[in-house]
Amino acid sequence: MDNGELQAVAEGLLFASGDEGVTIKQLSKVLDISEDATSQIIEALKGDYEHATRGLMLMEANGVLHLTTKPEHSSYFKKLIETPRSASLSQAALETLAIIAYQQPITRAEIDEIRGVKSDGPVQTLLNRSMIEEMGRKETIGRPILFRTSKDFLTYFGLTSIDELPPLPETTDDANNQEVDLFFERFNDELKNH
């Protein structure tokens, strides 16, 4: 791999490491190059990010490298956070949330099986909104991640525990599903108003 490709991979690894960041030693192992070579790649990336046309910068704190936004752009990030946006969840996300709420702990494959379609996007949306959380791994082949609802989920619904969810109907008659549907519609309306 040439230096340009190594820089691109290192940049991707820095992005993927998120808030945890990554050390030179970790990057060196993953890239399968020496720590000196890794340091040179990081220095080259730092130089690239110093240009005014870049919105990110490479920061090192206590030996851990992080990609972060530039402080001089902070007023724009503040505007973004303050900008009202639709907080409602898509139908797919609501379906996924209901499945997780009533079947927890549950794996993504089990959610997919119940819904009959892939649930990667809705699960990621729910994780991003802190409605669900990872709670370990299932003791089976591949050790898939188990998901459950979060404290934020309980707070939004005004529940003290998951046991307070409306009971699922015994049949699939539409009239019996009404209480559960209304419960999740109320949740979506509350999200819009926050």
What the chain holds in terms of domains, given with CATH numbers, is 3-73 (1.10.10.10), 91-193 (1.10.10.10)
Q: Is a pLDDT exceeding 90 seen at residue 88? A: no
Q: What is the pLDDT of residue 52?
A: 75
The Cα 35–Cα 90 span in angstroms is 46
Among 24-28, 65-69, 79-83, 166-170, name the most confident range.
24-28
Q: What is the pLDDT of residue 176?
A: 45
DSSP letter string over 8-74?
HHHHHHHHHHGGG-EEHHHHHHHHTS-HHHHHHHHHHHHHHHTSTT-SEEEEEETTEEEEEE-GGGH
Binned at pLDDT 50, 70 and 90, residue 149 comes out as very high
Nearest by Cα to 162 from 133, 128, 191, 194 = 133
Span 147-151, average pLDDT: 93
Binned at pLDDT 50, 70 and 90, residue 144 comes out as very high
The Cα 122–Cα 98 span in angstroms is 11
Q: What is the pLDDT of residue 9?
A: 94
The Cα 165–Cα 183 span in angstroms is 9
Window from 23-32, 52-61, 97-106 with minimum mean pLDDT = 52-61
Which amino acid would we find at residue 49?
Answer: Y
Q: What is the pLDDT of residue 84?
A: 55
Report pTM: 0.48
